[in-house]
Amino acid sequence: MHELSVCQALMDQVESIAHEHRARQVMEIFVEIGPLSGVEPQLLEQAFDIASAGSIAAGAKLVIRSMPVRVSCRQCGAITNALPSRLVCGVCGDWQTQLVSGDEMLLASLEFTRDDDQQAHSRGVQQGIEANR
């Protein structure tokens, strides 16, 4: 299950950001996953409990948002949603498209408490997550 190594890489980023913002405890972790990322959200949730144990994010809630597959058409220039198994233009139906999104896994934001007892939210983190493979 490579989701465990992905989750460990996620935790490295979470701990780095939490340390940078002087967080005491991470409460929620928001992740965006595309269907072509190679990461199974259900397996990631299972691995999260193991990867976060004993860390600043132990007990945190992992919130996963599915991202759409989007393509750019080389024929008509439109950017449209597509099916993961059918990367065709939604406007003209041409198959000459380029993938715009849907293959990523991003750490979108964190919600945490700080030592001064304030709750903070780190938005716009938007960091890609890569596991050691």
Whether 19 and 83 share a structural domain: no
In this prediction, residues 76-87 reach a mean pLDDT of: 97
Whether 5 and 41 share a structural domain: yes
Question: How many domains are there within the chain?
Answer: 2
What is the per-residue pLDDT across 90-113, written as a single tens digit (0 to 9) for each?
Answer: 999 999 999 999 999 999 999 998
What is the per-residue pLDDT across 31-56, written as a single tens digit (0 to 9) for each?
Answer: 999 999 999 999 999 999 999 999 99
Q: How far is the first Cα of the chain from the last one, in angstroms, to the nearest whole number?
A: 11
What is the per-residue pLDDT across 3-26, written as a single tens digit (0 to 9) for each?
Answer: 999 999 999 999 999 999 889 999
* Domain carrying residue 76: 68-101
- Supply the pLDDT for residue 115: 73
Whether 59 and 110 share a structural domain: yes
Contact call for residues 107 and 13 (beta carbons, < 8 A): yes
Whether 58 and 88 share a structural domain: no
- Reported as a pLDDT band with limits 50, 70 and 90, residue 120 is low
